[in-house]
Amino acid sequence: MPESHPFASQMRRLIDAAIVAGTPYASMLLDAEGNEIALTPNRVKQEQDPTSHAEMNTIREASARLGSADLSGCHLITTCEPCPMCAAAIFWSGISKVTFGLSIEGITAAGHRQIPLKAAALLKHSRNPVEIEGGLLAEEVRKLFPKKAL
Amino acid sequence: MPESHPFASQMRRLIDAAIVAGTPYASMLLDAEGNEIALTPNRVKQEQDPTSHAEMNTIREASARLGSADLSGCHLITTCEPCPMCAAAIFWSGISKVTFGLSIEGITAAGHRQIPLKAAALLKHSRNPVEIEGGLLAEEVRKLFPKKAL
């Protein structure tokens, strides 16, 4: 997928944020006008919190900032396809659009354990359709995983 | 399911905690020795956080208390069957046993929206088998839902 993708610059920023945080996982939320509301990495190890995936942190931070559990109209951009925990959080928050880099299959191939359930399989149950696009800068994201696992 | 169930008293306490919190959802975590590590209700409305389900709060609080993202050996007891967000959090935390009251089908019938995916369908992917039992005091839990929805 080309650098000319409309959200390539945001994905590039996420990749940089992930490198700084020492994880392959980072995500951000844009509001309906395209304003950045939150940008967070995975913090499971640092916080010893198994729920501290990048997308969960982004959703929690964005909700706190907006003062609302309803994030309908918002767009989540994330380096890796949301796992079922994060996909269900997207469902509950009403996020309207998801753009990700590396797929769950790609994460697994890169050596990280995953639950083999696609985000789309969960989000098809959403009240309002969720637009999902994967593969943005996926090869760059793949390089975030430890070399030994490749 | 009878009051003589080994975890009926814990479920009774959860039902009481849910009533106090004004929600049908409350959960607790016991460690491998049966000690209570955390007991929390759903706080989505109070905190305007879409991820603040009872089980998520219990897992986060227990991990903080134990200083570990690894909750293997622990037992989660919850008034309602965990949704896919919470089931995946159980997966990531390594919790070994889950006991719930009302099923996802029962929650839906009681008027609350759910993602139609059983906790067992997610947890079958766990590295170590997760023991799951549902239906404990389910009729009592059902009464926690607003009457208009019944």
Q: Please, is A2 exposed, middle or buried when counting C-beta atoms within 10 Å of its C-beta (0-12, 13-18, 19+)?
A: exposed
Minimal C-alpha gap between A8 and chain B (Å) = 28
- Of the candidates B3, B36, B55, B133, the residue annotated as catalytic is B55
ipTM exceeding the 0.90 mark: yes
| Cβ neighbours of B117 in A, within 8 Å | 122, 125
Task: Report the SS3 class of residue A67.
Answer: coil
Which residues from chain B sit within 8 angstroms of residue A64, using beta carbons?
48-49
CB within 8 Å: A127 and B113: yes
Residue given tokens 């009926």 in the structure block: B8
Segment A134-141 mean pLDDT: 98
pLDDT score of A94: 98
Q: Residue B148: what pLDDT? A: 61
Mean pLDDT, range A36-59, rounded to an integer: 98
Backbone angles phi, psi at A88, to 5 degrees: -70, -35
**What pLDDT score does A150 carry?**
45
CA distances for B57 relative to B39, B49, B64, angstroms: 8, 11, 10
Predicted pLDDT of residue B143: 97
pLDDT band at A147 (very low <50, low <70, confident <90, very high): confident
A1 pLDDT more than 80: no
Q: Provide CB contacts within 8 A for A109, sequence distance 6+.
A: none
pLDDT 10s digits, A24-40: 999 999 999 999 999 99
Within 8 A of B58 by CB-CB distance, chain A residues are: none
A55 is catalytic: yes
Chain B residues with beta carbon closer than 8 angstroms to that of A47: 69
Q: Per the residue annotation, which of A3, A36, A47, A55 is the catalytic one?
A: A55
Residue contact B71–A50, C-beta within 8 A: yes
Radius of gyration of chain B (CA): 14
The ranges of chain B with pLDDT < 50 are 149-150
Q: How confident is the model at residue A148 (pLDDT cuts 50, 70, 90)?
A: low
Query: Hey, are the CB atoms on B51 and A50 less than 8 Å from each other?
Result: no
* Cβ-Cβ contacts under 8 Å for B140 (sequence gap 6 or more): B11, B12, B15, B101
> Alpha carbon of B53 to those of A22, A62, A87, B18, B90: distances in Å?
28, 17, 15, 12, 13
Query: What pLDDT is attached to residue A2?
Result: 59
- pLDDT digits 0-9 by tens, A53-107: 999 999 999 999 999 999 999 999 999 999 999 999 999 999 999 999 999 999 9
- pLDDT digits 0-9 by tens, A114-134: 999 999 999 999 999 999 999
Give per-residue burial for B7-34: e unless 16+ CB within 10 Å, then b. Answer: beebbeebbebbeebebbbbbbbbeeee
